[in-house]
Amino acid sequence: MDANQTHLDPAEAPMPIECSYNAGDAGCGDGLHMDFRRQIQAIEVGQLLEFVVRDPSAKEDLPPLARMMGHRIRTMQERDDGTLSVVVERAR
């Protein structure tokens, strides 16, 4: 694992990502939370969504939003292109 990647539950084996969504430059003030809600509801419970975003505030905003909705953050990784990849498991 490189220094820019965070595995929040290292004991679990990696699972395949069923869906990936690129939110681009959207931030929470631009409806990012609604995009996240719509995308996570489009997958089945237990599946993974990779949510990719460029807005730096997403690193602080997405994890609490996912947890508040009852889902689990599996990984967060800052990519070389300046985006943040957040992999979320739909829990309910």
Sign, CA torsion 39/26/8/66? negative
Domain that holds residue 38: 5-89
pTM for the full model? 0.78
**How many other CB atoms sit within 10 Å of the CB of residue 36?**
26
Q: What is the pLDDT of residues 20-32, one digit of tens each?
A: 999 887 766 677 8
Q: Give the list of residues 6+ apart from residue 18 with CB closer than 8 angstroms, or none.
A: 43, 44, 47, 48, 49
Q: How many domains does the chain have?
A: 1
Tell me the average pLDDT across 62-82: 94
Higher pLDDT, 28 or 50: 50
And the tokens for 24?
A: 């681009």
CA atoms within 13 A on the CB side of 81: 9
pLDDT at 12: 55
Q: What is the CATH number of the domain that holds 20?
A: 3.30.110.40
pLDDT at 55 over 80: yes
